[in-house]
Structure 1
Amino acid sequence: MSMDRIITITSAQNDKVKAMASLLEKKHRDRSGKFIIEGIHLIHEAIEAGAQLESVVYDMERGVPDELRGSLAQANGRFEIIETTRAIIAKCTGTDSPPPVFGIVRKLEADPASLYRANGLVVVLDGVRDPGNVGTIIRSADAAFADAVVLGKGCVDLYNPKTVRSTMGSLFHVPVVEGDLSELLPAAKARGMRLVGTSLQASANCYAHDWRGPTWLLMGSESDGLSEAALAQLDDHVIIPMKGRSESLNVAMAATVLLYEALRQRDFQTTIIPDPPTK
C-alpha cells in the first residue's frame, strides 16, 4: 500500500479498533495469533526482520514518523497503514503516554532445531513472571549470541506488551520457544545438552565452569529460584561470586553475567598482562 492509500479511523467504536485493543489481553492474542508492537524502533525492527506485519497505525496529529517514512512508502500492500487519533492509540496500547506509532504482528514461529545446535547455548526460564526481566534476558541472549530462549510454563507471556517493549526488538532476532520443561529438559539431556543452573550451595563459581560445550542455562523465578523438578534435571550447579554485601542479583542481571562469561569463553581469548618488573 502506498502512502496515498492510507486508511483513516477516528471512531473508537470501529470494529478494527476494538480488535486491536483486544490484543492487550492474552486470551485474544492466543485466539487471533497476533500481538502489538509499540514505537518507532520496534516497527523498524519488525520490518527489517521480515515479520508478518498486518497493520501500522500512526498518530494523525503527529504525522508519519520521519524514521519510518521510507519503509511505509515501500510497503507495497504487505501491510495496511492507518492514521488515527491519539485517544485511539492510547486505547490500543494501554499507555498513559501513547507512542507515535504501533503495529499489529502475527506471532513468531521459532524453529525447534535452534534448541539443539552443535555447541549451542540456550537460555531456559522457569517461572520468570516479570515482563521486564524476561524482555531483558531475551535482549542479553541476543547480544551474547545465544541460539534460543525457552519460556517454560509459569513464565510471563512472551507477547505481553510490556515483555515485547522490554526486548527492544530482540524477539525478532533470537528464537523464543514456549514449552513444557517437564518434556523439554529430558529431551535436551537425551540429545547431549548439559543443563546448568545457579545455586547458593554450589561449590564451583561460574568463571571456573566450562561453558564451551552444548549448554542449556536454567534461570528460575524471581522469588523462588528454580523449581524442584528443574533442579533435579541439572547436570551442573554454579554460583556467581559476590565480594560486596549484596545477597543476590536480579534474575536478568544474573543471566546476563552468565551469558557473557559463556560468550567470553567461546569467542574471546583471555590475555593475561604480566605484572611490571620490580625495581
Structure 2
Amino acid sequence: MIKKISSTQNSYIKELVLLKEKSRARKKSGLFLIEGAREIGLALKGGYNLDTIIFYPELFSEAQINQFADGSINCIEVSKDVYQKLAHRDTTEGVLAVAKHKEHALESVVLHSENPLILIAEAPEKPGNIGAILRTADAANVDLVIIANPKTDLYNPNIIRSSVGCVFTNQIAMGSTEDIITFLKEKQIHIYCAALQASVDYHTQDYTKSTALIVGTEATGLSQEWRDAATQNIIIPMRGEIDSMNVSVAAGILIFEAVRQRLMSN
C-alpha cells in the first residue's frame, strides 16, 4: 500500500530535508537521498539497499515504481510542494529514494585484478571535483577509487549529481594517507604521485603493472608523506602560463594514459 504525504510540515519530510542538507544527519542515520531514475538504478546495480521510494505522480507514475521497488520497500506519493522541498535539481524526474550507506573502509576492499589500477585523491573538498573524478574513474573502469583524508561527505547531493551516479558504480574506499600508503605497500602496488617536485613526465612511466595514481588539490598539491612514499613522482607538462590544472582533468589524463598502455600491452 502506497502512503501519501502532502504537507511539507510532516515530521518524516522534515527528516528527509535534513538528510538532503546536513552531513551530520546522513552520518547519524546511515541514510541519504538519491534523486533521479538513472541514479537510483545505478545505486541498485551497485548493491545499495533502498529504504523508501518517494515520487510525485505528475512526473513519475506508480507503474514506473515497479522497476525499483518490491514489497519490502516503502513507497510514498507526495505533493508538488513536498517534492520540490526534497528535490535538489531545478529540473528533475519526479522520483527520489532513501538509501542506506555502504561500508567504505580499506579493510573491505576486494581487488579482483592481478594488476589493479587505482586512483587516489588526497583531501578533495569540492563536491564537483569529486563527482568528476568518480565519473572519469567509471569511464576508465578503474579497480578502486580511494579518498585520502576525506573532507567532504561522499553522499553529498552535489557529489551524487556531478558524478551522474558514478558514486555508486565505483568501488570506493576512504582512509588516512598513512593507512592507504601501508595498504598499497602491503599489496606491492606501485605509487605514482602527481607532483611538481622531483618529477618526470607522466608518459615516461610504465603503468601496466599494479598501479596507484595519486592526485592532490590544486591549492596545496600532495602532502610530503605521499611524495616520500612514491615509486616515482610524475608531472603533466604545462604548455601555458599556469603550473597546474583542475584535479579531475589531471586525474583523467593520468588514468587514460594507464588505460592506453594496458590496451597496447594486451
Normalising by structure 1, report the TM-score. Answer: 0.85
Counterpart position of 2:24: 27
For residue 98 of structure 2, what is the amino acid of its counterpart?
I
Q: Pick which of 135-144 and 83-92 moved more.
A: 83-92
Q: Would the alpha carbon gap of residues 87 and 229 (structure 1) be closer, same or farther in structure 2, given more than 3 Å must change? A: farther
Shift of 1:50: 3.9
Q: Would the alpha carbon gap of residues 259 and 265 (structure 1) be closer, same or farther in structure 2, given more than 3 Å must change? A: same
Counterpart position of 2:176: 180
Q: Pick which of 92-101 and 258-267 moved more.
A: 92-101
- CA deviation profile, 1:207-238 (whole Å, cap 9, x unmatched): 11101111111111131111222222222111
Shift of 1:201: 3.6
Q: Would the alpha carbon gap of residues 172 and 248 (structure 1) be closer, same or farther in structure 2, given more than 3 Å must change? A: same
- Equivalent position to 1:140, from 119, 136, 142: 136
Counterpart position of 1:77: 71
Where do residues 184-195 of structure 1 align in structure 2 (5 Å cutoff)? 184-195=180-191
Where do residues 203-242 of structure 1 align in structure 2 (5 Å cutoff)? 203-242=199-238
Q: Would the alpha carbon gap of residues 9 and 116 (structure 1) be closer, same or farther in structure 2, given more than 3 Å must change? A: same
Structure 1, unmatched stretches of 5+, are 271-279
Q: Is the 8 A contact 1:151 1:177 kept in 2?
A: yes
Counterpart position of 1:167: 163
Distance 2:218 2:117 in 1: 22
Counterpart position of 1:108: 102
Does residue 52 of structure 2 align to residue 58 of structure 1?
no
Q: Would the alpha carbon gap of residues 155 and 122 (structure 1) be closer, same or farther in structure 2, given more than 3 Å must change? A: farther
Q: Pick which of 80-89 and 255-264 moved more.
A: 80-89
Does residue 37 of structure 2 align to residue 43 of structure 1?
no
For residue 44 of structure 1, what is the amino acid of its counterpart?
G
Q: Would the alpha carbon gap of residues 63 and 183 (structure 1) be closer, same or farther in structure 2, given more than 3 Å must change? A: closer
Q: Pick which of 179-188 and 138-147 moved more.
A: 179-188
Distance 1:81 1:50 in 2: 19
Structure 2, unmatched stretches of 5+, are none
Shift of 1:70: 4.6
Where 1:155 maps in the other structure, the secondary structure is coil
Aligned sequence identity (%): 31
Q: Would the alpha carbon gap of residues 201 and 41 (structure 1) be closer, same or farther in structure 2, given more than 3 Å must change? A: same
Shift of 1:117: 4.8
Distance 1:95 1:168 in 2: 12
Does residue 89 of structure 2 align to residue 92 of structure 1?
no
- Equivalent position to 1:247, from 228, 243, 252: 243
Q: Would the alpha carbon gap of residues 203 and 65 (structure 1) be closer, same or farther in structure 2, given more than 3 Å must change? A: farther
Distance 1:70 1:95 in 2: 23
For residue 235 of structure 1, what is the amino acid of its counterpart?
T
Where 2:16 maps in the other structure, the secondary structure is helix
Distance 2:62 2:193 in 1: 44
- CA deviation profile, 1:26-62 (whole Å, cap 9, x unmatched): 1111111111111121122223334201111112333
Shift of 1:118: 2.4
Where 1:140 maps in the other structure, the secondary structure is helix
- CA deviation profile, 1:95-129 (whole Å, cap 9, x unmatched): 55565211111012357333585211111111110
Where 1:170 maps in the other structure, the secondary structure is coil
For residue 92 of structure 1, what is the amino acid of its counterpart?
L
Distance 1:26 1:115 in 2: 29
